[in-house]
Each structure stands twice: as structure tokens, then as C-alpha cells.
Amino acid sequence: MSTRFVVAALIGFLVSGLVEIALGAPGKAGPSGPTSSVLCLNSLRGSLQGQCGIVLDVNGDGNEDLVIGAPYAQGPGTKGALLVYPGAPAGFPQRPSLLLEGEGNLGWSLASLGDLDGDGKGYFAAGAFSGSSDEASLAGTVTIYKGGVKPQKVAVLSGENALDKFGYSLAVGDLNGDGLPDLVVGAPFHSPSPALYQRGAVYVFFGDRTTILKKEALKIPATSAYGGIGFSLATGDINGDGKDDLLLQASGRVVAFHGAASFNPAVTGPNLVFTNADAGFGKSIAVLDDGNVAIGADQAGIAGVSDSGRLYIFNGAGNQLAKIDGEPNGGRFGSAILPVGPGLAVSAVHADGDPWPATGKIFLFNGSLTAGATVNSARVIAGEVRNMHLGSFLALVAQGPRLAAGAPTEDANTGKVRLFNLP
């Protein structure tokens, strides 16, 4: 056996070892167990790949694909991009098969609209917080893509005024119960009036059988009672009436509007308000399969350590069912939340990993969270690279199943996405 072969084999062994990330035992971090993959386009330096991501069958081949946002990708005349990783039974390629370039920081947010026309190819929406349109410059835009081998733009939604950051956040749900998905877009720096300067607005584009989404949106502006909206959104049925409801973070509170055939929150006002004094309450919001609501307060102090984070579980009537403290290490527990079956995945993007500090961690809770639950009962996935922000987004790949997690600040803000096998 030649020396070169031995050296190459050793290098290969070391490289494959470096990309192996293990799922730790409950309450413990560190390598052991199933392996993961690392997805990245290294040539897009400083692009924040992994800022957001969604799972859907884009190309209609029956396998789930990954669409990843890279909002700071720079190209000739472009700013922002979407990376498409086609899924296959064997997994995902380490590099994307397709790069959809855009402008205005395209790829800051993503949402799946599903297969709207029954051809097996999913539609999706991508936010560009500084995008421009024929209607308004620098207001932010959301581009609707129709799935395919090469997804095609079918519509561009626009914010109202420059620097509104329309498209900062996205959510999809059937708020009016007509069987069609509605797209909800946050514009957290919109000014409904001088007195409400930069207090935000949320726009609901109802589904339409002919045009996919109605062109005119229902606007939910900030009010003097509820401002600071547009940063964090979620949908789901919390009152059990079969229609999705809309939940918004609003300056330390989460306000909920029940879905209705004539959904119009600006007229009806909120149906429920979740209130909590923890800093960052509402940073992440998720409606669970049982209709309960999970809310992250990522800046809550724990044992005197600020920005450690806390997670709350409420029922649909607003009663608190559980409170889970993050580790007292400034980890921002509650940065992102993803329902995983009856359980929950919760990220802490600044938590200390093994061996490096401030890598990020993901906590996997099995089953419903009840009073008395702690992070010690969770299986832990710890980041292995300093300052990677592991868990900036979380998405479930049913095939496996696997958990996709963004690490957008890894490698001088180039970013990566990691896939972890789930038990």
C-alpha cells in the first residue's frame, strides 16, 4: 500500500469524522449515536446560509427537498439567494443543486405553501426584507415560487413603504377556513401613523383558487394597545374549531386572533393575550398538535444569568401548563421551536457546546411537556463549532426522520445547515 494512499485514507477518515455529529444521551451533550450531514455552499462567503429553511417536495419526485435561505449572498447585482437541496432516499447532497438568486436580502424568511395545484410540486414563499417592487422601493418583498426542477416566480408581494422590512417573518395557515392556505407576512418597521412610528404591521394574503393568493392583503396594523408586531408569527388551531388561528408577538405579549370565515382582527381585536414579564417573550411561537401553544422567551434571566431563556406551554384558553428554564449560561433557550410529533425541539443558539462555548444547542423533548419538565429530561444536540448559532431554524424531514438545523454564523457568517438523525 503506497504512502499516498495511506495518507489519503487517513485524511478521508478524519474528514468523515469531523462531519459526524452525534445525538447525545438525555441531559448530556457530546458525540455518540447516529450521524448527521453538513450542507453548505462554501463559495457564498458571508451569506448567512441557514438563516431559515423549509422542507417540502419542490421538484415533485416524491422526496422531501430542503430550501435554505442565504440572505447576505452577494452576486453581480444580486443580494440574497435560496439554496435548493433535492432529497433522495439516500439523503441530501452536501452542496445545493440549484441557486435561486434575488435582491433585497432574499432568503431572510421562508414558508411552505404546499402543493396548491395537485401536481406534486410544492409552492413556497421567500422574504426579502429590503426588496423593491414596482410599487415601492426598499419596502421588502415576498416572492411566491411554484415548485419544479427549477422553481418559477409566480408573484411578488410588496410592502408599503421603504424600510418597513415587509417579509421579515412569514407564516401559513387557513385562517378563514375555506380550505386554502393563507400567507401571513410581518413588516415590523411599518409606521401605521406618526404616533405609531415603526410599530409594525402584519398582512394576511388569503388563498385564492385562481391566483394562489389574493392580491390585496388584509392589513393588521399596530395599535396603541398592541405594537411591536411583525417580528414573530405563528398559526394553528388553538380553540379547536377547525380553523387556524393567528398568533403575533407584540412587545412582550403574544396576541391571538381566532380564525373565522370573516377573519378581520383589526375589527374584532384579539381573542386572547398571553402575557409574561420575561424578556423576549414571543421570540418564538408554535402551536402544538394538541392545540397547546409553546412560546419562547429567549432573553429571560435564569439564576441571575441574563439571556438564558425560558419556554412556556399554554393551553388554548391561555392557562400556563408548563415552564421550562433554559440552562443558566446565556444560551437563549427558546430561540426557535419546532413541534416534533407529540414532542418538541427547542433551540438555544448561544448555548455552550462541547468543547466550545457559544455554539448553540438543540433540546429534544419527547411527549407533551407538563409542569415540572426541565431541560434535563431532553435529549441534547450540541454544536461543535464556536459561534455557529446552531438552531437558528429548525425543520423536520419526515424521511428518516431527521432534524434540519441552521447555523448561519458559522465560518465568518458563511453558514451551514446540519441534519441530525432522530430516534
Which residues of the shown chain bind other proteins in the complex (CB under 8 A)? 46, 72, 74, 79, 104-105, 129-130, 132, 135-138, 161-163, 165, 168, 188, 191, 194-195, 197-198, 231, 305-307, 329-330, 350, 352, 357-358, 386-387, 409, 412-413
Q: Work out how close the CB of 17 gets to other proteins at its nearest, in angstroms, rounded to a whole number.
A: 24
258 or 350: CB nearest other proteins: 350
26-30 CB contacts, 8 Å cutoff, 24+ apart: 26/376, 26/377, 26/378, 26/379, 26/380, 27/375, 27/376, 27/377, 27/378, 27/380, 28/380, 29/353, 29/354, 29/361, 29/380, 29/381, 29/382, 30/354, 30/382
The set of cell numbers assigned to 409 is 454564523
Q: Is the Cβ–Cβ distance between 94 and 153 less than 8 Å?
A: no
Q: Work out how close the CB of 16 gets to other proteins at its nearest, in angstroms, rounded to a whole number.
A: 27
Q: Work out how close the CB of 155 gets to other proteins at its nearest, in angstroms, rounded to a whole number.
A: 19
The set of cell numbers assigned to 88 is 433522495
180 or 356: CB nearest other proteins: 356
1 or 412: CB nearest other proteins: 412
SS3 for 352-370 is CCCCCCCCCEEEEECCCCC
Q: Work out how close the CB of 339 gets to other proteins at its nearest, in angstroms, rounded to a whole number.
A: 26
Q: Is the Cβ–Cβ distance between 21 and 2 less than 8 Å?
A: no
* Residue 274 identity: F
Q: Is the Cβ–Cβ distance between 229 and 201 less than 8 Å?
A: yes
86 or 330: CB nearest other proteins: 330
165 or 243: CB nearest other proteins: 165
59 or 130: CB nearest other proteins: 130
Q: Work out how close the CB of 347 gets to other proteins at its nearest, in angstroms, rounded to a whole number.
A: 16
Q: What does DSSP say about strands 106-114 and 123-128: parallel, antiparallel, or unpaired?
A: antiparallel
Q: Work out how close the CB of 86 gets to other proteins at its nearest, in angstroms, rounded to a whole number.
A: 29
The CA distance from 9 to 58, in Å, is: 37
53 or 200: CB nearest other proteins: 200
Q: Work out how close the CB of 316 gets to other proteins at its nearest, in angstroms, rounded to a whole number.
A: 30
Coil, strand, or helix at residue 58? coil
